[in-house]
Amino acid sequence: KAGVTQTPRYLIKTRGQQVTLSCSPISGHRSVSWYQQTPGQGLQFLFEYFSETQRNKGNFPGRFSGRQFSNSRSEMNVSTLELGDSALYLCASSGSPDSNEKLFFGSGTQLSVL
Amino acid sequence: AQKITQTQPGMFVQEKEAVTLDCTYDTSDPSYGLFWYKQPSSGEMIFLIYQGSYDQQNATEGRYSLNFQKARKSANLVISASQLGDSAMYFCAMRERGNNRLAFGKGNQVVVIP
């Protein structure tokens, strides 16, 4: 069974540009959540999707958005990139947002904003 | 308020020895889940072990075991028979009821030496 797949693995953008990151969950998983990891702030929750609906959102500006498709694949978009958006973006999937479900992460997308 | 606390400094561990990583958490929700993840330098977040708040027994997964002390709000990870490939950052995380919003600790750096 394939794991969580995130593409691309690396991205280099300049300030002001926008970027779209993709996450394909484990087959059969319908819940996808996104996290940002930086050396200063650690791992921070961005948002969570289940059955194409956003269920939770972290404390990030509106430049960060996401969506989930009917096949459970998810994308997150960051518009008007800032230097501080440079981070590792991790996606996690589980069967459902249930307290007993395990979450599995992908390898992440390393975004560098110049 | 910080929900997950990992306070140990970086650790050097002799190969084949056991190591214990401390994690304390804070929640008022009676239903929650606790996770440990390993993150090697490649960046991937690897699931190690999960403990549900209602689980009667401590979780075990191969060489990993979780010492769950609910009254003390403690969920320490024990890695037995350390291997060189265990060198990584280790993160403790908690999920509260009904969502996949993980709160992470700041991590513990472990270096296994031959």
Average pLDDT, chain B: 93
Average pLDDT, chain A: 94
Q: Which stretches of chain B sit within 8 Å of chain A by CB?
A: 31-33, 35, 37, 42-47, 50, 52-53, 91, 93, 95-104, 106-107
Chain B residues lying within 8 Å of A35, measured CB to CB? 102, 104
Taking the CA atoms of A92, A106, A95 and B62 in sequence, report the sign of the dihedral they define.
Answer: negative
Q: How far is B1 from chain A (nearest CA, A)?
A: 14
Question: Is the CB of residue A43 less than 8 Å away from at least one CB of chain B?
Answer: yes
Chain A environment of B90 (Cβ under 8 Å): none
* pLDDT of the residue at B2: 61
Q: With an 8 Å Cβ cutoff, is A35 touching chain B?
A: yes
Nearest CA in chain A to B42: A107
Q: How far is CA A23 from the centre of its chain?
A: 7
Between CA A7 and CA A108 the distance in angstroms is: 8
Give per-residue burial for A26-60: e unless 16+ CB within 10 Å, then b.
Answer: beebbbbbbbbbeeeeebbbbbbbbeeeebbeeeb
Enter the DSSP assignment of A26. P
B25 and B114 Cβ atoms separated by less than 8 Å: no
In this prediction, residue A99 carries a pLDDT of: 60
Give the nearest chain A residue to B102 (CA atoms): A45
* Neighbour count for residue B26 (Cβ, 10 Å): 12
- CB contact (8 A) between residue B102 and residue A101: no
Beta strands in chain A (DSSP E): 5-7, 10-13, 19-24, 31-38, 42-50, 53-57, 64-68, 74-78, 87-94, 104-105, 109-113
CB pairs below 8 Å between A and B: how many?
Answer: 71
Residues of B in contact with A42 (CB under 8 A): 104, 106-107
Cβ separation B47–A104 shorter than 8 A: yes
Mean per-residue pLDDT, B68-93: 97
- Reported as a single tens digit per residue, the pLDDT across A64-102 is 999 999 999 999 999 999 999 999 999 999 887 776 778
Q: How far is CA A32 from the centre of its chain?
A: 8
Angle at B14 between CA B12 and CA B15, to 5 degrees: 125
Query: Measured between alpha carbons, how far is A47 from B29 in angstroms, rounded to an integer?
Result: 21
Span B3-58, pLDDT tens digits: 999 988 889 999 999 999 999 999 988 889 999 999 999 999 999 999 999 999 99
B3 DSSP 8-state letter? -
Bridge partners of A13, per DSSP, are A113
Measured between CB atoms, which of A48, A88, A107 is closest to B100? Answer: A48
Nearest to A107 among B33, B44, B97 (CB): B44
| Structure tokens given for B66 | 């979780």
Separation of CA B102 from chain center: 13
